[in-house]
Structure 1
C-alpha cells in the first residue's frame, strides 16, 4: 500500500475548506468523547484505517476508553459501556453515514432529540458529515496509518 499523494499539499484551498469544517464541528460538539465516538463509528463503517487509528488514539488521550473503542462496532450488545445519549448519537452516525439505506427514520430523529436541541442536532449532523468527508479523502488518496511518517 502506498500513499497516492499528500492531499494537504496537492490542493491547499480544499484542505483549508475541510479544516474550517473540522474547526466548526470540533468547537460545536462540546462533549469530546462523544465527538470521538462519532468519528470512530463512521470510520469503522467506511473502512478508513487512517482515521480509525488517529481517533482511537485521540479518544485514549481523553481517558481510559479502551473497551469503548474496542467494542464500538458492537455497541448494541454492550449497553453498559455507552450512555443513552451516546447510543442515540452512535445510531444517528450510522444512519447518516449510510444515508442511502433508510435515511434517518423519524423514530431515530426523536430519540436523538430527547437529548439535544435542534441546533445541537445540526451540530451532530455536521460532525458526522465532516468525518465522512475526511474518510473519503483518506481512502481516495491512499492514506493508511503511518503514511506520513518519515522514511
Structure 2
C-alpha cells in the first residue's frame, strides 16, 4: 500500500524544484520571493511550506515585523513598499482565483513594478509554490522537516 509520503515521484519533485528555482532566480529578489511564498502558503494552509519559507525569509533579511504582519499586509501600509504590495496582491489573486481570473487592476499594478520577464517569473513563482502547497497538504507533511 502506498503511503501519503510516497505519493510524489522523484522526477516530479525535480521538475517542480526546477520551476521554483528558475522563477525565484529570475525574480531577482530573494527576500520578496520568500514573502510571496509565505503569503501563498498562508492562504493554502501549508504548515510545512510556512515553516520552511519563514526560515529562509529570515536568512534573506526579511524583517520580523514584515513576517508578523504579512497576513495583514493590506492594512500594514508602512511595513511593505508599493512593489511588495503589488507582488502580494498578485500572489493572492493567482492563488485564490475566486472569480476565475486575475483582475486587470491587480495585474496592471504588478506590471508597473516588474518588467515583462520579472513579472513572468513572479507568476511562475506563485504557480510553483501553489503546486508545492497542494502536494505537501495532500501528503499531510508536518512542519519542521525542512533543513537547508
* TM-score > 0.5 by shorter chain: yes
Aligned position for 2:120:
122
Structure 1 gap ranges (5+)? none
**Paired position in structure 1 for 2:5:** 5
Separation (CA, whole Å) in 2 of partners of 1:34 and 1:143: 25
1:113 corresponds in structure 2 to 111
Question: C-alpha distance in 2, partners of 1:112/1:95?
Answer: 11
**Length-normalised TM-score, structure 2:** 0.90
Shift of 1:101: 3.0
Structure 1, 44-53 or 115-124: larger mean CA deviation: 115-124
Mapped partners of 1:62, 1:116: distance in 2? 20
Contact 2:5/2:139, CA 8 A, preserved across alignment? yes
Which residue does the alignment assign to 2:53?
A: 55
Aligned to 1:40: 38
Cα distance in 1 for partners of 2:138, 2:107 equals 31
- TM-aligned CA distance change 1:148 to 1:53, over 3 Å: closer
Q: Which residue of 2 aligns with 1:83?
A: 81
Aligned residues: 145
1:92 deviates by 0.3
SS of the residue aligned with 2:4? Answer: coil
Kindly state the Cα deviation for residue 134 of structure 1 after the two structures are TM-superposed: 0.5
Give the secondary structure class of the aligned counterpart of 2:140: coil
* Unmatched segments (≥5 aa) in structure 2: none
